[in-house]
Amino acid sequence: MAERITFVAGDFYADELPIGHDLALLSAIIHQNSPEQNIELYRKVGRALEPGGRLVIRDHVMNPEPTEPARGTLFAINMLVVTAGGSTYSFDEIRQGLEAAGFTRVKLLQNGERMDGLVEAFNP
């Protein structure tokens, strides 16, 4: 599978992402960003994906009440202290950001106690 994967160095805050991909993974990224930063990042990913391409996000996915899962709540406090706007987000918050960036068919694939929540969305 190694020949099918390409790693590219860069700064996703400053640089555009390379284009032409059918899958992008944001793993343990969105918690360090504000909602506005995440929407901009999702837009960059959308520009990098082919039509119909898939974005998978792995991070804490909080319940509607932001006190569960407990590890995510503690992590949100950490983000409050060490970032300018980071937090942990509920599925609805992630979905709203993805839809604002133009993604469709947003689905929660997995929720968990650790940073193992998975959200899937598709580039139109």
Question: Which string of b and e fits 47-61 if b means at least 16 CB within 10 Å?
Answer: ebbeeebbbebbbbb
- Parallel, antiparallel, or unpaired for β 89-90 and 61-62? parallel
Of 26, 30, 31, 48, the active-site residue reads 31
What's at 51, amino acid-wise?
A: P
State phi, psi for 53 to the nearest 5 degrees.
-65, 155
- Pick from 68, 64, 88: which is nearest to 78 by CA? 88
> Which stretches within the chain are classed as H helix?
35-48, 70-82, 91-100
31 is catalytic: yes
Alpha carbon distance 1, 10 (integer Å): 23
Catalytic residues: 31
